[in-house]
Amino acid sequence: MTKKLSYHNVNKTPYLTWNWLKMNRGILETEIDTSVVPCAKIRGATEGLILYKDDGSGCAEIAELEEKLPFMAQSSSTDTTDIINSLNSVKFALTAQKKCTEPVILDFELKDGQTYSGRQIVIAEENSEITVIMNYTSLPFDGGFCAIQTKLWAKPYSKIHLVKVQLLGQKYTHLDDTQFFAEDNASIKVTQIELGSKQVFANVTCALSGYASNFTSETAYTAKNEQNFDINYCVSHTGKNTESKMSIKGTLLDNAKKLYRGTIDFKRGCEGSKGNEYEETLLTSPTAVNRSIPMILCGEENVEGAHGGNLGNLGNEELFYFQSRGIDEKAAKSIMTRAKIIEAASQIPDEKTVGQIKAFIGEEEN
């Protein structure tokens, strides 16, 4: 059975900018198979970890955890939540009770024509530490629909490192929503790599509610052919002395399009907080389209916010450097494109996942 999806408020900015630019929200229109397939496999750490899974028959423990989660609702997540609620979503819940020395890996192995809809809850108890890797893969020419929502709760003095690697086939539509809540002195890190799919809607929102909590993200992407990437990051500072750092680096080739929204929101009462965002985009084609909304919202006086960016093709100095070493312009662009991905991949503590990334960008280079 198929179903048509039509949503016009995906990855919505917390506050609207100039409507005529048509950048405040994403539009998702696609037709999907409503038969949801449970295709995630779990490997990695088990010691110090409590795991629950619900394939649709119900799980009382997951339902209880969902009720206890702090309020994380964001306007940018509303459409994603509606889509996932309309499907028979697979659920996972992970609770770290101490420092997990090995990462937990969720391998989402999709096949052509499949629909996958899933929810994950990750909770790091006080003084615990956990790394969760979510790896989406399929064959290169496959297509389908994948919708994922992940909610993470970092309790006092805990650390969460979330890795999301998207290597789906070139006909997929991928919808990925991530929400964080951080308590006192909690530390959150996100490593996100977007390479596959025809359409990508990736949203990350983080509530730094606890004193001296912090958020760091490193995002890398390569978009080519007719790929369309819609990426939204929003960090809300409500606790005192909180800190956020966001970095996104990528390359646009051919007729690819990318829209990035990056918001640092200083709420009243977050004295002493700092936020910084940086974007670096390499444009290798005159028909590629890059759009960005770096936004700093300030409801508190004693804060520091900054954003910067670097957009364009390789400069004369860079080209001269490469050419002086016998590397032509085409090869130089390929090296720079791969370098952005490898830099982010170096943060991933799983050889299999890193190997899959290297193989994927190797195929893109051919």
Please name which of 194, 204, 216 lies closest in space to residue 357, comparing C-alpha atoms.
Answer: 194
Chain-centroid distance of CA 109 in Å reads 18
The predicted pLDDT at position 361 comes to 92
Q: Which residues contact 160 (CB under 8 A, 6 or more apart)?
A: 122, 124, 129, 130, 131, 132, 152, 154, 180, 186, 187, 188, 189
* Identity of residue 271: E
Measured over the CA atoms of residue 25, residue 26, residue 27 and residue 33, the dihedral's sign is: negative
Which pair of tokens denotes residue 308? 């910067």
DSSP of 96-162: E-SB-SS-EEEEEE--TT-EEEEEEEEEE-TT-EEEEEEEEE--TT---EEEEEEEEEE-TT-EEEE
The predicted pLDDT at position 309 comes to 86
- Coil/strand/helix, residue 308: strand
The predicted pLDDT at position 321 comes to 64
DSSP of 223-257: E-TT-EEEEEEEEEE-STT-EEEEEEEEEE-TT-E
- Coil/strand/helix, residue 84: helix
Q: Which residue has the tokens 């996932």?
A: 84
Longest C-alpha distance within the chain, in Å? 65
Strand partners of residue 118: 90, 148
Which tens digit of pLDDT belongs to each residue from 228-286?
999 999 999 999 999 999 999 999 999 999 999 999 999 999 999 999 999 999 998 99
Which pair of tokens denotes residue 188? 């959150």
R_g of the chain computed on alpha carbons: 20
Domain boundaries, the chain: 37-365
- What is the rounded CA–CA span in Å between residue 151 and residue 164? 13
Regions of the chain short of the pLDDT cut 70: 73, 314-317, 319-321, 363-366
- Beta-sheet pairing, 104-109 with 40-44: antiparallel
- Coil/strand/helix, residue 285: coil
- What is the rounded CA–CA span in Å between residue 343 and residue 249? 10
- What is the rounded CA–CA span in Å between residue 153 and residue 123? 5
Check: CB of residue 223 under 8 Å from CB of residue 229. yes
Q: Report how far apart the first and last C-alpha atoms of the chain are (Å, whole number).
A: 38
Q: pTM of the prediction?
A: 0.94
Length of the chain: 366
The predicted pLDDT at position 365 comes to 44
